[in-house]
Amino acid sequence: MTFGIIGTSIWQQNLPLLERLTIERENRTARLEQLKSALGVSELIYVATCNRVELLYAVDSHEQPGSRLLHRLIDFFFRDSRQIAFFPNDFYHFTGREAITHLFRTVSSLESLVVGETQITGQFKQAWQESAEAGLSGPALDSLAQEALQVAKRVKRETDLGTGALSMASLAAEQLYGKLGSREKATIVLVGSGAMTIKLAKQIRQWPNAEMVFVNRTPGKAEKLAEEFGGRALALAAFHERPVESDAIVSATASSDPVFDGSFADRLPDSEHRVICIDLAVPRDFDLACTGHPRLEVIDIPRLKSAAQGNLRKKFVEAGKANDIVRDAIQRYLSDRIETSLKPIFRDSYNESIEMANKALSELFAHRLTSLSDEERETVARTVRKLIGHSSFQSIKALSERLVALRSDLSFEHPTLGESKVAG
């Protein structure tokens, strides 16, 4: 199999493209089955976060899809639309060793907006599990996914890269506190009920001056969050119709369309301050009319990205250690896969050598070493088999490591990857 990754991320700075490639959760499995068929790949894992959309795939090596796979992906998402502008470098497409390197680095958070955050590890694990349950991934990608998660565990265990690491929720909280922390009272509206909202609520409830209002399309979910973290609950429809007086609105929904527009901003209660609006959703929850509205200050993901630029410099030493771990893991993984691939070839040679040795020993014992006992003959035969096995298989590891050093376009057969199960 040949491994590959096609994707785009916040680093490409094309948020509309990132939004367009994000498939809604409601019908994601069906759409991914269609996408897998359209791409013509054997296995597929789809990862979509607020920072990136990536498709990890495995394809039969003899097909050599090359750039055709990217063209098929573009046809799938943009065949009926000319609204999204993008350039070739807005996508990245890695194959072979480069794909494995990118995956290990991504799952270990070395490609994250905030280097060292652990959220991406959990997001990838969930994406893999969903793909496995839907029958989209198989033994090739399952083996690779398991290895990527093991590398991430090792990075976390052996470095301090995650010490003081900030998630997107933490970055949002930092922005809010920097703007509202000095006020006597700050009312913060949290829209949505997902993991991002919960993480943010956990931080905000520690502030002595903060009051939280939870807003959701389903009132019961908002009420549950208000009960857990304290504060009030509102249905999204009611909040739309009559917005409560607030100092900040943080929105992280899974809506495929903008949740807030310019008319909503016009209905906000009068205030001497602009309302801080932090948009953590992909696609965006605040449309472009909100961005330019005089009563709002919209902070989107690219602005949070700018706030996190110093993170890598602070963690330079630990990032170096993590890079070494990832590099060693890639070398070991590729070498092991090649070694496993080569063993059947060397086993045939070993069996032929054993057969020849047995004939030679039988001739030797019958005509020259006739005085040896059965036990002594077995000892000689066992020693010969051991020497043949050592000479037959010892060179595989060195050859595998040499091939890894020389080649980047490595591929593997299904049977060499073995059986694997999704980790619990």
Sheet containing 232-235: order of strands: 232-235, 210-216, 186-191, 248-251, 275-279, 296-299
124 and 221 within one domain: no
DSSP classification of residue 308: T
| Final residue of a structural domain among 278, 309, 340 | 309
pLDDT at 62: 66
pLDDT in tens, 256-312: 889 999 899 999 998 889 999 999 998 899 999 998 899 999 999 888 877 665 555
- The whole domain housing 200 covers 168-309
Task: Give residue 417's pLDDT.
Answer: 35
Q: Are residues 31 and 119 in the same domain?
A: yes
Q: Are residues 178 and 293 both part of a single domain?
A: yes
- Tens digit of pLDDT for each residue in 318-359? 888 888 999 889 888 887 777 676 666 666 777 777 888 888
Tell me: do 107 and 134 sit in the same domain.
Answer: yes
Q: Across the beta sheet with 52-59, what order do the strands follow?
A: 43-48, 52-59, 2-9, 92-95
Task: Mark whether 304 and 336 lie in a shared domain.
Answer: no
Question: What residues in the chain have per-residue pLDDT under 50?
Answer: 408, 410-424
Q: Is the pTM of this model over 0.75?
A: no
Do 215 and 196 fall into the same domain? yes
- pLDDT attached to residue 337: 75
User: CATH number of the domain that 181 lies in?
Assistant: 3.40.50.720
Query: 86 burial class (0-12, 13-18, 19+ CB within 10 angstroms)?
Result: middle
* Non-local CB neighbours of 152 within 8 Å, separated by 6+ positions: 104, 107, 108, 109, 121
Question: What total of structural domains would you count in the chain?
Answer: 3
Claim to verify: residue 143 and residue 73 sit in the same structural domain? yes
The pLDDT assigned to 414 comes to: 39
Check residue 258 and give its pLDDT.
92
| pLDDT value of residue 272 | 87
Regarding whether 225 and 99 lie in a shared domain, the answer is no
Q: How many Cβ atoms from other residues are within 10 Å of residue 132's Cβ?
A: 20
